[in-house]
């Protein structure tokens, strides 16, 4: 049932591209991800059918770009900035801490669906580096220790919410 | 024509042709790791660079068109330094385990490193994380050994029209794999093994059944029976340094006995059996208004392709099992009983030019009461490995003949090894079935040769029968689209997954070139020309099998043992 609804969303995007060729692939991927938060295997296959492309081709193009993700975003979506300023101020350690705590890599979602992790190039607030963004709240000057605190906080919050 | 100068030698070449092709025709050896003859150049590997006078940089000769007055150096110090650096960079992240690699001494990367004199690891790169993909019944994928040349990706898409794999990710993290980077078993891979055949390294190889076969050969309880496909006898010798086109059927039979196989049978026998069933089915469909055009079912890659991508054509597929599976079924369900052997103690091995046959043998429909019709499938390459392991030199054997009754074949069955062969054999027998007479000229020239699509109109008893033959699934796709769009003059279509048919299968000796395929084809035609029994219905052993056991083609026993069914498959999973 759920997947039917999801496919309908994909089909709704495809309706805007009735006679499209492979050159329409990226805008279609972007719109599907905008609606669904990620590109599900079903969506990749459906888009491929529409454009007469094998799923491997669609997946190959999508993985080339950083903007596409292939697992559903978690309840709390965490973005870690790895731009130059953040890097200089130690964002590598922050990212590593979060990966260790959540046991996921960038682009992945925890099995319980609570957290997902994404690396972004620059949030545009370099003066506050290193930055992370959780549920669209920005956290400035994050050290590994501070990151741990923030994650623990959200772990509690997401549990009580859920 | 343009006049160009290569290494101070004047050469006439067609303007606009790619330099690499011209050079190789002139016997000038320029290495490449990514180029495939007859496919568009990709320029990925940079091994074929040459120095063109007046050009700022080295030019990749695979993608460099010939132009008038061009002056080229193919082995200048600058060129050799560039090639050597490319190889060193490739090796920087490549595993060092050549001694243990299935491609040891038969690896294009190793050859280049050797030839260019790489003697030390100058660059140390990050080695990639190992995740061997052993999920497929046919093909093992080892991304660690991949040099990202992209040959497999192009063959899969351009020759086979499947596109099971593509480049995933980018930069240093790029790898090649199926959609969602899962196992090949849940992808739309049809197991043909053409990717294995073009892989320059050990990154793609067949799923080996050698250990199982060796264990069975050493098990005194087991009666180990081997069958060999029609194309094996004209390709095996190449593994032992003999030039392409030599038929070694007798030597191979003797070698198999030396290895300890208890019976040696010939899949060409069951190719004849297939023709009896398939030609009957064709005649039946034509006379009773059945689903047409009928399509052949011997090539397991093609079968999976139809099941997942063209399920609307499943009814067109002949219900006949492939020769491998027919013989497997007849051995365990008839022969074993007649010989007083418990079928559970029969270990049935087939030698195939094909990796998809491994998948086919494991299909659940190809077993009865928990006993698979065929237990293990070895490719031509694996048979050669087995022979080397046992120190058997096939060139030193005294020729021997195969066992009765399934060692007898007609030359029509032998033709199955080349594209058009099933069609030719079927036409000979269908003509006889309809008219009661033999074709005046048994040679059906229109379906011979290496063209991707061959078509003919045959006159059988005043009826026009339209036939088409395709090899390489991209070519088959074309025909299917025509039929889908209403083309209705075709009665029978033969499809082989690999271009040229089994003689160019994914399990054949590596580094097969188009000339070798031609030579193998000529060898099969020669066998047919010189044989005395040239029709499947003329095979006495087949006739006796019907008299003794099966009754008649398409009869109850045939349906039980020799026919199968198909199922729609999801593209993924």
A45 touches chain B (CB under 8 A): yes
Domain co-membership, A82 together with A157: yes
**pLDDT (0 to 100) of residue B402:** 95
Task: Judge whether B316 and B295 are in contact, CB under 8 Å.
Answer: yes
Look at residue A2 and tell me whether its pLDDT is greater than 90. Answer: no
Choosing from A12, A35, A64, the residue where a domain stops is A64
DSSP output for A90-124:
THHHHHHHHHHHHT--TT-B-TTSSEEEEEES--S
Q: Is A33 among the domain residues?
A: yes
Confirm whether B298 is a catalytic residue.
yes
- Using a CB-CB cut-off of 8 Å, the residues of chain B touching A105 are none
Domain co-membership, A139 together with A80: yes
Look at residue B452 and tell me whether its pLDDT is greater than 70. Answer: yes
Domain co-membership, A91 together with A137: yes
Q: Is A71 among the domain residues?
A: no
Distance CA B299, CA B495 (A): 7
Which residue of B180, B310, B311 is the best one to mutate when testing the A interface, meaning the one whose CB has the most A CBs within 10 A?
A: B180
Structural domain total, chain B: 3
Which H or E element spans position B492? Answer: strand B492-496
Choosing from B75, B101, B133, the residue where a domain stops is B75
Look at residue A34 and tell me whether its pLDDT is greater than 60. Answer: yes
Task: Judge whether A6 and A43 are in contact, CB under 8 Å.
Answer: yes
List the structure tokens of B513: 């070139």
Residues 6+ apart with CB under 8 A from B508: B197, B231, B235, B353, B379, B380, B381
B55 touches chain A (CB under 8 A): no
**pLDDT (0 to 100) of residue B291:** 96
Distance CA B559, CA B432 (A): 22
**pLDDT (0 to 100) of residue B130:** 64
Residue recorded with tokens 């990212």: A95
Domain co-membership, B10 together with B158: no
Domain co-membership, B302 together with B404: yes
List the structure tokens of B436: 């009661």
**At A30, phi and psi to the nearest 5?**
-65, -45
Distance CA B469, CA B447 (A): 7
Choosing from B75, B98, B117, the residue where a domain stops is B75
Helix (H, G, I), strand (E, B) or coil at A62: helix
Q: Is B44 among the domain residues?
A: yes
Distance CA B280, CA B415 (A): 19
Model confidence at B573, pLDDT cuts 50, 70, 90, reads very low
The shortest C-alpha distance from A129 to chain B (Å) reads 27
Under an 8 A CB cutoff, do B164 and A56 touch? Answer: yes
Strand-strand pairing, B463-471 and B453-460 = antiparallel
Strand-strand pairing, B175-178 and B165-168 = antiparallel
Q: Is B189 among the domain residues?
A: yes
Mean pLDDT over B419-432 rounds to 96
Q: Is B572 among the domain residues?
A: no
Domain co-membership, B193 together with B237: no
**pLDDT (0 to 100) of residue B284:** 96
Distance CA B303, CA B359 (A): 11
**pLDDT (0 to 100) of residue B279:** 96
Look at residue B232 and tell me whether its pLDDT is greater than 70. Answer: yes
**Mean pLDDT for chain A?**
91
Q: Is A70 among the domain residues?
A: no
Confirm whether B281 is a catalytic residue.
yes
CB count in 10 Å sphere of residue A153 = 12
Select from B448, B440, B450, B456 the least CA-distant residue to B471: B450
Domain co-membership, B335 together with B249: yes
Confirm whether B206 is a catalytic residue.
no
Model confidence at A158, pLDDT cuts 50, 70, 90, reads confident
Under an 8 A CB cutoff, do A56 and B165 touch? Answer: yes
- Using a CB-CB cut-off of 8 Å, the residues of chain A touching B165 are 56
A23 touches chain B (CB under 8 A): no
Confirm whether B318 is a catalytic residue.
yes
Mean pLDDT over B515-537 rounds to 97
Model confidence at B188, pLDDT cuts 50, 70, 90, reads very high
Domain co-membership, B164 together with B248: no
Under an 8 A CB cutoff, do B180 and A44 touch? Answer: yes
Domain co-membership, A89 together with A122: yes
Helix (H, G, I), strand (E, B) or coil at B497: coil
Helices B108-115 & B77-92, crossing angle to 10 degrees? 130
Task: Judge whether B292 and B286 are in contact, CB under 8 Å.
Answer: yes
Under an 8 A CB cutoff, do A54 and B179 touch? Answer: yes
- Tell me whether residue B536 is exposed, middle or buried, using C-beta atoms within 10 angstroms of its C-beta: 0 to 12, 13 to 18, 19 or more: buried
Under an 8 A CB cutoff, do B169 and A70 touch? Answer: no
**Could you tell me which chain B residue has the CA closest to the CA of A60?**
B168
What is the sign of the dihedral through the CA atoms of B79, B81, B86 and B87?
A: positive
DSSP state of B402: P
**pLDDT (0 to 100) of residue B203:** 97
**Could you tell me which chain A residue has the CA closest to the CA of B157?**
A54
Q: What is the CATH number of the domain that holds A88?
A: 3.40.30.10
**At A26, phi and psi to the nearest 5?**
-65, -50
Domain co-membership, A87 together with A35: no
Residues 105-144 of chain A with CB under 8 A from chain B are none
Catalytic residue from among B278, B382, B424, B494: B278
Q: Is A109 among the domain residues?
A: yes
Task: Judge whether A151 and A101 are in contact, CB under 8 Å.
Answer: yes
Q: Is B59 among the domain residues?
A: yes
Mean pLDDT over B379-392 rounds to 97
Confirm whether B101 is a catalytic residue.
no
Distance CA B48, CA B35 (A): 9
Catalytic residue from among B360, B382, B424, B494: B360
Q: What is the CATH number of the domain that holds B19?
A: 3.10.20.740
Catalytic residue from among B48, B101, B146, B502: B502
Look at residue A148 and tell me whether its pLDDT is greater than 60. Answer: yes
**pLDDT (0 to 100) of residue B257:** 96
The strand pairing partners of A109, in sequence order, are: A116
Nearest to A45 among B168, B178, B571 (CB): B571
Domain co-membership, A10 together with A44: yes
DSSP state of B94: S
**pLDDT (0 to 100) of residue B569:** 92
A58 touches chain B (CB under 8 A): yes
Q: Is B385 among the domain residues?
A: yes
Domain co-membership, A48 together with A106: no
Task: Judge whether B417 and B501 are in contact, CB under 8 Å.
Answer: yes
Under an 8 A CB cutoff, do B572 and A57 touch? Answer: no
**Could you tell me which chain B residue has the CA closest to the CA of A67?**
B169
Q: Is B95 among the domain residues?
A: yes
Q: Is A154 among the domain residues?
A: yes
DSSP output for A28-49:
HHHHHHHHHSS--HHHHHHHHH
Strand-strand pairing, A137-139 and B9-13 = unpaired
**At B91, phi and psi to the nearest 5?**
-70, -20
Q: What is the CATH number of the domain that holds B519?
A: 3.40.950.10
Helices (H), B320-443: 323-330, 336-339, 356-361, 380-389, 411-414, 421-435
Look at residue B177 and tell me whether its pLDDT is greater than 80. Answer: yes
Task: Judge whether B162 and B174 are in contact, CB under 8 Å.
Answer: no
| pTM of structure | 0.92
Domain co-membership, B250 together with B390: yes
Radius of gyration, CA atoms only, chain B: 25
Q: What is the CATH number of the domain that holds B134?
A: 3.30.70.20
Choosing from B75, B104, B127, the residue where a domain stops is B75
Look at residue B570 and tell me whether its pLDDT is greater than 90. Answer: no
Domain co-membership, B275 together with B341: yes
Look at residue A161 and tell me whether its pLDDT is greater than 90. Answer: no
Mean pLDDT over B100-106 rounds to 95
The shortest C-alpha distance from A125 to chain B (Å) reads 27
Select from B476, B477, B445, B472 the least CA-distant residue to B458: B445
Domain residue limits at B201: 90-206
Domain co-membership, A49 together with A94: no
Domain co-membership, B232 together with B366: yes
Strand-strand pairing, B9-13 and B294-295 = unpaired
Q: Is B387 among the domain residues?
A: yes
**pLDDT (0 to 100) of residue B572:** 67
Residue recorded with tokens 């099941």: B307
Domain co-membership, A87 together with A143: yes
Structural domain total, chain A: 2
Strand-strand pairing, A132-134 and A137-139 = antiparallel
Choosing from A64, A88, A103, the residue where a domain stops is A64
**pLDDT (0 to 100) of residue A1:** 42
A66 touches chain B (CB under 8 A): no
Domain co-membership, B440 together with B405: yes
- Using a CB-CB cut-off of 8 Å, the residues of chain B touching A70 are 180
Mean pLDDT over B517-538 rounds to 97
Residue of higher predicted confidence among B491 and B460 = B491
DSSP state of B317: B
Please write the tens of the pLDDT for every residue from A52-75: 999 999 999 999 998 899 989 999
Please write the tens of the pLDDT for every residue from B19-60: 999 999 999 999 999 999 889 899 999 999 999 999 999 999
List the structure tokens of B173: 């993290």
Between the CA of residue B155 and those of B36, B132, B164, B506, what are the distances in Å?
9, 21, 10, 11
Distance CA B13, CA B9 (A): 12
**pLDDT (0 to 100) of residue B56:** 95
Q: Is B450 among the domain residues?
A: yes
Domain co-membership, B36 together with B175: no
Domain residue limits at A90: 76-161
**Mean pLDDT for chain B?**
95
- Using a CB-CB cut-off of 8 Å, the residues of chain A touching B164 are 54, 56
Confirm whether B360 is a catalytic residue.
yes
**pLDDT (0 to 100) of residue B378:** 98
Under an 8 A CB cutoff, do B180 and A45 touch? Answer: no
Mean pLDDT over B87-97 rounds to 94
Distance CA B395, CA B547 (A): 39
Q: Is A69 among the domain residues?
A: no
Domain co-membership, A8 together with A56: yes
Catalytic residue from among B107, B195, B223, B298: B298
Domain co-membership, A54 together with A87: no
Model confidence at B293, pLDDT cuts 50, 70, 90, reads very high
**At B413, phi and psi to the nearest 5?**
-60, -35
Q: What is the CATH number of the domain that holds A45?
A: 1.10.10.1590
Residues 6+ apart with CB under 8 A from A86: A122, A126, A129, A130, A131
Domain co-membership, A81 together with A151: yes
Strands (E), B277-345: 294-295
A77 touches chain B (CB under 8 A): no
Q: Is A100 among the domain residues?
A: yes
Strand-strand pairing, B294-295 and B492-496 = parallel
Nearest to A59 among B157, B162, B168 (CB): B168
A71 touches chain B (CB under 8 A): no
B56 touches chain A (CB under 8 A): no
Domain co-membership, B183 together with B228: no
Under an 8 A CB cutoff, do A54 and B168 touch? Answer: no
Select from B487, B488, B440, B448 the least CA-distant residue to B469: B448
Q: Is A117 among the domain residues?
A: yes
Between the CA of residue B556 and those of A123, B364, B548, B553, what are the distances in Å?
73, 21, 14, 9
Choosing from A64, A87, A106, the residue where a domain stops is A64
Look at residue A124 and tell me whether its pLDDT is greater than 90. Answer: no
Residues 6+ apart with CB under 8 A from A56: B163, B164, B165, B166, B177, B178, B179, B187, B188
């Amino acid at each position: 049932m759920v997947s039917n609804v999801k496919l309908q969303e994909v089909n709704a995007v495809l309706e805007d591209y009735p006679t499209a060729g492979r050159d329409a692939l990226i805008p279609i991927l972007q719109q599907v991800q905008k609606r669904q938060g990620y590109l599900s295997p079903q969506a990749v296959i459906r888009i491929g059918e529409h454009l007469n492309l094998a799923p491997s081709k669609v997946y190959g193009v999508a993985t080339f770009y950083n903007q596409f993700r292939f697992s559903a975003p978690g309840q709390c979506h965490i973005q870690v900035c790895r731009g130059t300023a953040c890097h200089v101020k130690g964002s590598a350690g922050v990212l590593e801490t979060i990966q260790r705590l959540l046991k996921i890599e960038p682009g992945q979602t925890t099995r319980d669906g609570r957290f997902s992790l994404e690396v972004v190039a620059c949030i545009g607030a370099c003066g506050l580096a290193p930055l992370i963004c959780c549920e669209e709240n920005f956290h400035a000057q994050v050290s590994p220790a501070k990151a741990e605190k923030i994650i623990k906080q959200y772990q509690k919050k997401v549990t009580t919410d859920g | 024509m343009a006049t160009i100068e290569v290494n101070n030698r004047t050469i006439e070449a067609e303007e606009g042709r790619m330099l690499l092709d011209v050079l190789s025709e002139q016997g000038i050896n320029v290495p490449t790791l990514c180029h495939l003859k007859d496919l568009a150049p990709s320029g990925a590997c940079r091994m074929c660079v040459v120095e063109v006078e007046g050009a700022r940089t080295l030019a990749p000769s695979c993608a460099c068109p010939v132009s008038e007055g061009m002056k080229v150096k193919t082995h200048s110090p600058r060129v050799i330094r560039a090639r050597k650096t490319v190889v060193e960079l490739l090796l920087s992240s490549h595993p060092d385990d050549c001694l243990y690699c299935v491609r040891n001494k038969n690896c294009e990367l190793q050859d280049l490193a050797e030839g260019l004199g790489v003697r030390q690891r100058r660059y140390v790169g990050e080695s990639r994380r190992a995740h061997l993909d052993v999920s497929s019944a046919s093909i093992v994928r080892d991304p660690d050994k991949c040099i990202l040349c992209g040959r497999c990706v192009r063959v899969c898409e351009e020759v086979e029209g499947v596109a099971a794999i593509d480049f995933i990710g980018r930069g240093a993290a790029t790898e090649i794999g199926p959609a969602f980077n899962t196992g090949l078993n849940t992808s739309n891979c049809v197991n043909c093994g053409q990717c294995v055949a073009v892989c320059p390294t050990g990154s793609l190889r067949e799923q080996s059944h050698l250990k199982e076969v060796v264990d069975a050969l050493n098990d005194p309880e087991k009666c180990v029976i081997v069958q060999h496909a029609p194309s094996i006898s004209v390709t095996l010798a190449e593994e032992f340094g003999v030039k392409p086109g030599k038929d070694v059927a007798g030597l191979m039979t003797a070698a198999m006995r030396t290895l300890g196989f208890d019976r040696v049978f010939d899949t060409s026998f069951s190719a004849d059996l297939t023709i009896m069933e398939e030609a009957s089915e064709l005649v039946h469909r034509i006379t009773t208004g059945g689903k047409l055009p009928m399509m052949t079912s011997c090539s397991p890659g093609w079968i999976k392709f139809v099941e997942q991508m063209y399920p609307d054509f499943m009814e067109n597929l002949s219900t006949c099992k492939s020769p491998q599976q027919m013989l497997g079924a007849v051995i365990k369900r008839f022969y074993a009983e007649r010989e007083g052997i418990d079928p559970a103690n029969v270990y049935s091995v087939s030698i195939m030019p094909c990796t998809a046959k491994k998948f086919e043998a494991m299909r659940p429909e190809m077993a009865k009461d928990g006993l698979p019709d065929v237990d293990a499938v070895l490719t031509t390459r694996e048979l050669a490995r087995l022979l080397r392991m046992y120190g058997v030199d096939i060139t030193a054997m005294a020729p021997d003949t195969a066992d009765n009754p399934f060692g007898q074949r007609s030359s029509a069955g032998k033709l199955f090894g080349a594209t058009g062969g099933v069609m030719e054999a079927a036409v000979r027998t269908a003509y006889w079935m309809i008219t009661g007479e033999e074709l005046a000229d048994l040679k059906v020239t229109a379906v011979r040769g290496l063209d991707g699509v061959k078509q003919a109109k045959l006159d059988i008893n005043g009826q026009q029968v339209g036939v088409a033959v395709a090899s390489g699934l991209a070519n088959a796709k074309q025909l299917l689209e025509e039929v889908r769009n209403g083309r209705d003059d075709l009665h029978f279509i033969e499809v082989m997954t690999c271009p040229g048919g089994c003689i160019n299968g994914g399990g054949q000796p590596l580094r097969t070139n188009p000339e070798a395929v031609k030579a193998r084809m000529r060898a099969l035609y020669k066998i047919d020309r010189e044989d005395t029994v040239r029709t499947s219905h003329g095979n006495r052993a087949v006739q006796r099998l019907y008299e003794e056991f099966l009754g008649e083609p398409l009869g109850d026993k045939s349906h039980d043992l020799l026919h199968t069914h198909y199922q729609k498959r999801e593209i993924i999973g």
